[in-house]
Amino acid sequence: MTLETITEQFRKTAGKAPQLGKSIKFVLDQGVVHIDLTGEEPQISNQDKDADCTITTSIETIEGIRKGDINAMSAVMTGKVKIKGDMGLAMKLPSLIS
């Protein structure tokens, strides 16, 4: 899976996400995906901007979580996923990944 593929998946699933008034940044091994949920329409880009919540992981781990092969909480506990910032926002992310 590539950064372009994962960015496109976020574009498709971000429409299902509630308007949270916050932004999320995924720092992946191939680059960054920034998801801005502050406006009426989600804005997804590969720009490295500040965010309320930053999640650092690999594309492989994101894909495993999305497919259900990896438990998201276990990934955090084992260090495969690192979360910085708004932890409450991070807990609302499964709808963006699946």
Question: 18: number of CA atoms within 13 Å, CB side?
Answer: 6
Helix axes 59-67, 3-14, angle to 10 degrees: 40
What six digits make up the tokens of 80?
């495969």
Residue 98 has pLDDT above 60, yes or no: no
Q: How many domains does the chain have?
A: 1
Query: Could you list the residue range(s) of the whole structural domain that residue 50 is in?
Result: 3-86
Which CATH number is 77's domain given? Answer: 3.30.1050.10
Which tens digit of pLDDT belongs to each residue from 13-34? 887 766 778 999 999 999 999 9
Q: Which of 76, 88, 92 is nearest to 19 (CA)?
A: 92
